[in-house]
Amino acid sequence: MAEVLGPIREKHKLPALAGAIVTEQGMIAVGAVGATTNALWHIGSNTKAMTATLIAMLVEQGKLKWETSVGEVFPEADEALRKVTLLHLLSHRAGLPANEKWTNSKQPVREQRRQVVLMAKPESPPGEKYVYSNLGYVIVGAMAEQTMNASWEELMREYVFEPLGMKSVGFGGVGGKPDNPPVIGPAGRVHCTLADWSKYIAHVLRSQQELVPAFGGNYALGWIVCERKWGGGKVLTHAGSNTMNFSVAWVAPKRGFAVLVCTNQGGDKAAKASDEAASALIRLYEAKFGKP
């Protein structure tokens, strides 16, 4: 795979570029240029699907419901916010702005997230319109924390990462590099190796659950749902960036495979390079296993 990724890295002048091909059984191919294949990558907003998986597990156990409202968990929240449900939040349909003025704080992170809930005020009625919102996913994390009396980080390890054997996972910038403040964790602070991200993606492929946007549009539980011929119909995709790194996932449930790409640079150049690399990896898969 390095021979495929190398020219793309050089063309876009990236520090490093890595990719993986994944099936239901796990990662079947991996390559990297400018880094080792076991390097850690910051996956940004690809964390959102993982947060949605945590909520799905808590729903399955009866700890929460998709219809659980903010008011049921935080009765002291703003009156308009109290009507918002987990499904609204996970679908970016809560009527919330994209972000707050995120800052580093010495308060415990759970208390920071609780304060975010108490200060948040919707700008439109729930379900009315789509606004991509990191704030909404932070509130999802706070609801899980309040319900389970544990931090989002602890819950993710217990319910998602440890059962899947994702031992490299951490939160924040790789190697002490800058990142968004810890409060924003549920929206995008995970880093891990491609092998471990592949374990999660293999879990998504095995779940065989067809994601349907609950309020129209194309967003469902941390994924953009769209149609692609190479995927045999509906596919899932999402990108992630903390402005210093970029990652993208393309998942084809109907064909049982996915491709992942990561780079340690942000911006439009990284986005274009990652899409180009993803297309190249899809062609690699098709060359070995055939087109749909």
Q: Residue 211 contacts by C-beta under 8 Å, 6 or more apart in sequence?
A: 220, 221, 223, 225, 236
User: Within the chain, which residues score under 70 in pLDDT?
Assistant: none
Q: What is the 3-state secondary structure (H, E, C) of 41-110?
A: EECHHHHHHHHHHHHHHHHHCCCCCCCCEHHHHCCCCCCCHHHCEHHHHHCCCCCCCCCCCCCCCCCCHH
**C-alpha pair distances (Å), 189 with each of 47, 117, 276:** 7, 19, 24
The domain locations on the chain are 2-287
Could you tell me which of 180, 178, 71, 179 has the C-alpha nearest to residue 135?
180
Which residue is associated with the tokens 């990561």? 262
d(CA 284, CA 292): 14
Considering the domain 2-287 in this protein, what is its CATH number?
Answer: 3.40.710.10
pLDDT in tens, 92-109: 999 999 998 888 889 999
- Position 227 scores a pLDDT of 97
Q: Provide the residue type at 221 as one letter.
A: L
Q: Provide the residue type at 217 as one letter.
A: G
pTM, 2 dp: 0.97
- Position 210 scores a pLDDT of 82
- Position 209 scores a pLDDT of 76
- Position 167 scores a pLDDT of 98
